[in-house]
Each structure stands twice: as C-alpha cells, then as structure tokens.
Structure 1
Amino acid sequence: MARGAPRLRRRPSVLALCLAVAACLCGGRNAAAAERKTVGVHELRRGDDFSIKVTNWGATLMSVILPDSKGNLADVVLGYDTVAEYVNGTAYFGGLIGRVANRIAGARFTLDGKTYRLYRNDGNNSLHGGHRGFSKVVRTVKEHVGGGDSPTSLSTTIASTGSKAVDECWRFPGDLDVYMTYQLSPPHVLSVRMNATARGRATPVNLAHHAYWNLGGHGSGPVLAEAVQLLASRYTPVGAALIPTGDLAPVAGTPYDFRAPGRAPAPRATTPTTPWTAASSSALRPGARVRDGATGRAMELWADQPGVQFYTGNGLGGVRGKGGSVYGRCLETQGFPDAVNHPGFPSQVVRPGQVYRHDMVFRFSF
C-alpha cells in the first residue's frame, strides 16, 4: 500500500442484512425490487483524467475513464447506463463472480466424502455460482475514499458477510466472508483485490472479476484490430459443454497461442491457461497485454491466480449496453475451471479459518 494510503479496516459482520437478502432469494419474492432501494454508485477519481464508478450491486465496475494518446477521454469498460439494467441483466458485466466462477460439471462435486448438488443454470452444469451468484447480491460498502490529487491511493471496499445465507439456496457448503476492494494509484493503475474467509466448513472458492474491455472506448465498435498477448504456454481443452477434460495442453500450433502479440480471433470462447503453479500463485505476475493502435491505449494485466480466461463475447447474443452499443471482450484471471472435480488442477478448496486471496492489477498507458 502506498505511503499515506487509507487503511482498510474489517468491521463487524452485519448478518441481519445478509439474512434478509437470503430470505428474498430463497422465498421466490422479487429480490431485485427489495434490494434496489439500498444500491448506490460510488466514484473514485484521480485528477481530471482517471476515474471509475462502482455500484454495490454485485460489487460491479460500471466505468473506467481514461485518456488516449491525444488526451481524449473515453470509457473503456463495457456495461449498462443504469443500475437497474445491471440488476436485470444477464451478461455479468463488471461483476464479482462467485462463490465459484466458471462451470462446475454436472452441478455437483464431492468434498471430504460428501457430495453436494448445486443449482443448474447452464444446461446440466452450474455456472458462476448458480442462478443468483455473487454478482446478483447487494454488497455493503465498508470504506470509500473518493478522490483527490494527492499521491495516496484511493479506494472503495465492498463486503458481503455471512454469504452462507445466500449460498445455501444453491447448496454450497459453509459460511464465507467476502471482501472486494477497488483502488486507484498513480499514474493510471487500477487494483482489484478479492478475499474470502471460510467459516465453519471447507468450501470451494474461485472468485473472478468479470469486466469486459474495449480500449478504443466502450462504443467504438469491434475489438478485433486490437493487439492481444497472453503469457500462457498451456491451455485447458474443453468438451462440448465447455467443461475441461482435465488435461493441460501446449498452446503451440493451436488457435489458443497468443504468446506473441497479435489480433484477436473472431468471437468464440477461449480458455488459455498460464503455466503458473499453485506454489507461485501468491506473487503478482503479468498475464495479458492489450493495445489499441487507433487510440494508443494499452493495458497490462497482472494477477496472482494460475489461469486467465480470454473471452471474445460469442455468448453475448447482441446484448446492448451503454448508449445502445453492442459488445464483447473479457479477460478474467481465476483458478482453473471445474477444479473441484479435477484432482490434477490446483485446488480451490478453502478450509475454515483460511483466507482466499485474488489480486488483479490493471496498468494503463497511452
């Protein structure tokens, strides 16, 4: 943390709020209508040319404003114009994904001798935590330091405590305390920190931040001309239902080889995986680089997770976002998909008292 940065404090849990939300979710009532009353939008700003907006609905990143090489400002994150559209949307734009991101095969897994059957929301599989995962829950803003020109970091911490009350609807085991922090640092650095503490029972945890990016500006059209580099020598082959086979295959000679900067392919799902191991996952390492030639904007993504998924929006189905724009590209760092069903993948199980940590750093230049 930069010298003089605000110190982030963990405060007592507000279990009554979480239980009230869970009652709406499990009871089949209109949770969106009840929760919308407590939703807000929070801005972080550094100077006149770097700012973000975040809503506590799903800890969602709504915008990132950046200059280009000529000083022209644009919003480079895909999303919606209003919070209500995030509440009702299905594209996971900018949200916190969990308790387990990506797919769990057959919506089931076995942990410590017990089999858990999850909510199926992707054919026979569970996707992104179930029907209403972490991206569809109101979060509590624990601390917000919004702006200024000083060299200190600016941050917003969003928390959800006692998530078992929500997750028991979708049959994940145990209680989980979850915190997510957005932070701006000079000159143009966005940090996203996620952590979760297991309470009482072991549970799989694989949080992901689901921001979609267009460095030309969210409404500038296709991203296929942007240069993409993924520092991944292996990938996880998948079957017809997009479930990993359990293999780690070399990217050499395949369409998944992005080790040298090149243009993105036509939209499709790709799952390149870095060669990082669980033992080295505590250190931040570069995972992806993207550059838009027209504007000169570039982004370098660093993270401490063993995998990065590059998604070119093939499943968005013409979703319209801000100003009616039609979108797609997503870079997500995460654990390996369906790791809970693949003993050969780095484990995502968090034991009681353990803390899961997932840090991402986006470094922008022009």
Structure 2
Amino acid sequence: MSMKTFVKVNQMLSVAVVAAGLFACNCEKKSCQPIQEEAWGQLPSGDSVKLFTLTSKTGIEVKITTYGGAVTSIKTPDNKGQMGNIVLGFDSLAPYVKGTPYFGALIGRFGNRIAQGRFTLNDSTYQLATNDGANHLHGGIKGFDKVVWTANPTTSCCGAPALELTYVSKDGEEGYPGNMSVKVVYALEDNDLKITYEATTDKACPVNLTNHAYYNLSGTGTILDHELTIDALEYTPVDSTLIPTGELVKVEGTPFDFIKPFAIGARIDQVPGGYDHNFVLTPVAADSLRFAGRLTDPKSGRTMEIMTTEPGLQFYSGNFLDGTLQTGDWSLVKYSGLCLETQHFPDSPNKANFPSVILNPGEKYTSTTIMKFGVK
C-alpha cells in the first residue's frame, strides 16, 4: 500500500470512528481527527485507568494512558509505507502496574537524579526517597509515572487532536515541599508530537519534567545501528553512581561527540556501562525552541527530530534492559531501546553552576518538546 493510499484509508477509518460515537474534537479552524477513549483496567486501589488514541491527519497514531501519563505506542510509516510501533510499551495495563523502567511515562517532580536524595533550599534541607542506590531518581518511589492523571481530550491551537493531563502533587509528596499543580498536553499535529508542560506551586520547589519514552525506530532488534545527532558541544560527566561531577566537558574527540551523525554502536564500548549522560544543548534565547537532536534508522528509513526549550538532553542507551520484559515475542534485552529525555541537568538543586530548577510561588514552570517524525 502506498503512503497516499494509507493516509486516505486511515482518514476514512477515522470518519467511521466518529460515526461510531467515540469522542470527536470540535474545531472551527480546520477538520481534525477523532480521539478514541477506552477503559483500560483498574488499579488495586480501585482507581480506573483509561487509554486514549490520537490519530493525525497524516496517519500517525499515538496511544496514551492515564496511568503515569505514559505513551504506550507511536505508530509511524517506514520507507515502504508500512506502519510500525517505534516505542517500547505494552497493550495492557498489568505490565505497567507490575513495573517497567519508566516506559513512556511522564516523570516528576524531578526527572533524573538528585545526589543522596537531598537538597537545601531557603535554609531548609529536604530528604527525598533514595530509590536508585544512594540517590533519588525520577521523582521517587511513587513519582508522576505511577499516579493516575485526570484526562481531558481537546484540540491544539491549530486544531490537532490533543490530550490534556492534570495532576496535583500534595505538599510533602515524596519529600518535596509545596502543593504543585501540573498540566501536560500531548498534541499530535500532522507528523509532530508536541508535549507542553506547565506547573505552579505554593512553596519554592525544584521541578524538572520530562517524558521517558524508549525509542526503537525499527520496532525490533537493538538501536546500535541507529544514527544519532545531538546539538551539544559539551556534556556533563558523571561519577560511578551517575551523578554529574559538576564539570562541563567538551565532546570533541570523545565518544560523546554526536555533532555529526554517528551510529550508536560505533563507540559504545568506549563508554563504561553505555550512554546515560546529559548533553548541554547549544544555547538559544530563553524559552525558545532549539534543535536538540535527530535519530535515523538506516533499515526502516524512519527519522525523528527533537526540538525543545530545555537546556539539556539525556541520552540513555537502554543499558539496564536485561530480557526480563517482553512485548509480544520480542524480548527486551540490552540496547533494545533508547531514551532522549529533554530536561534540565541532573542534580541541579545541588549544582549552583547548572541552570536553576527552582520554581517559586507566583511563577509558572513551562517547557515544550516536539518530536518530528519522518522517513527517508
């Protein structure tokens, strides 16, 4: 089937979905695709979980669950027009509840690591959960990836299908100060998945929100032959527990140099443990979108370009996947997927030379990341 034929058929199916009585967005600017909503199970607590399917006018499909705000599937065409899922995930709730390494999840209050789970702010010291050895990781034992978000199907400003997710993190949750209200919007605009984050608080608190999708543009095998570009002249080296030392080191002449596209597997053996490092993106004006990186799969021809307002990009090469998780007949072994997490730098609350992550009362945290899907 040609790509044009696929898109036409997909649009016809979308009309049928609307006729079936499923949620259809209301947009005056231009016609938009429906958002499908379905019950997706119940947690032991009794909370109900939903799954939403967004389909763009070009045929790209994204599935998002209210459990952890996780992206469970992204289907895009390859260079033969065949649709395939490019993120690691599951088609039922149970594996997520049992536990995954943050597959597709929203991460907060603080994405990445905080040394010793401790920081001092306004003369008060806060102790967080230490759920990664001696350190705090991705919001703690029950971070934003393990809560049920409130969902509101809507449209973006340009009329594309969008899903608004909200959550209120209470004062003291996982050790963090202040009541924090968070809103995340996923919008599927043609070939782009746009994620916008907002947060407010009634007490000063660090915040660093991101999405933890694992990408494999082939939809099978490993990501070692994927070619990666990162627009960063520096990275933040880490100690043995993956906490940044505080230095900013030039990537030139090192295995961390992705200024030009490099196959991920070409130099990974030179990085003990594999890639799990923050890259310092080329600076732009505050709150402006910047090119962060590009991922290309030579086999399928699929590409993904990342734009973000964030100053950093965490490249994680799936080093801790060990084959214990399986989706279909695919055993998720080491390097089965990679993460490109747009973020502020790890351990920023304890590094005065890193960009600030402190949100104060009366201020609004905002962040935007766009994944642009394509094909060669």
Moved more, 42-51 or 120-129: 42-51
**Cα deviation, residue 3, structure 1:** 8.0
Give runs of aligned pairs for residues 74-223 of structure 1, distance below 5 A.
74-144=84-154, 152-161=159-168, 163-164=169-170, 168-186=172-190, 188-198=191-201, 200-217=202-219, 220-223=220-223
Shift of 1:143: 3.0
Indicate the RMSD between aligned Cα atoms, in angstroms.
2.1
1:41 paired with 2:51, answer: yes
Deviation, 1:292, is 0.9
Matched letter for residue 345 of structure 1 = F
Give 1:196's aligned amino acid. Answer: A
Q: Distance in 1 between matches of 2:195 and 2:290?
A: 14
Q: Which residue of 1 aligns with 2:256?
A: 256
- Aligned partner letter, 1:333: T
- Structure 1 residues 143 and 306: alpha-carbon distance in aligned structure 2, compared to 1, 3 A threshold: same
Structure 1: 5+ residue stretches without partners: 7-30
**What is the percent sequence identity of the aligned residues?**
39
TM-score normalised to structure 2 length:
0.83
* Residue aligning to 1:269: 275
Helix, strand or coil at the partner of 1:39: strand
Note if contact 2:278-2:345 (Cα within 8 Å) is conserved in structure 1: no
Superimposed CA distance per residue, residues 189-240 of structure 1 (whole angstroms, 9 cap, x where no aligned partner)? 1111111111x210000011100111112xx201111111111100001101
Work out the CA distance in 1 between the residues paired with 2:98 and 2:28: 40
5+ unaligned residues in a row in structure 2: which ranges?
1-26, 32-41
1:25 aligned partner? none
Is the CA contact 2:279–2:315 (under 8 Å) kept in the aligned structure 1? no
Q: Which amino acid aligns with 2:306?
A: L
Q: CA deviation at 1:145?
A: 5.4
Residue 64 of structure 1 corresponds to 74
| Partner SS state of residue 224, structure 2 | coil
CA-CA distance at 1:169 after TM superposition: 4.0
SS at match of 1:280: coil
Structure 2 CA distance for partners of 1:353 and 1:142, relative to 1, 3 Å = farther
Taking structure 1 as reference, are residues 252 and 272 closer, same or farther at Cα in structure 2, changes over 3 Å only?
farther
Check if 1:300 corresponds to 2:305.
yes
- Give the drift of 1:313: 0.5
Instruction: Answer 1 or 2: higher relative contact order, Cα 8 Å, separation at least 6.
Output: 1
Cα distance in structure 2, aligned partners of 1:131 and 1:290? 31
Q: Normalising to structure 1: TM-score of the pair?
A: 0.85
**Which residue of structure 2 lines up, in the alignment, with residue 353 of structure 1?**
362
- The alignment partner of 2:328 has SS state of helix
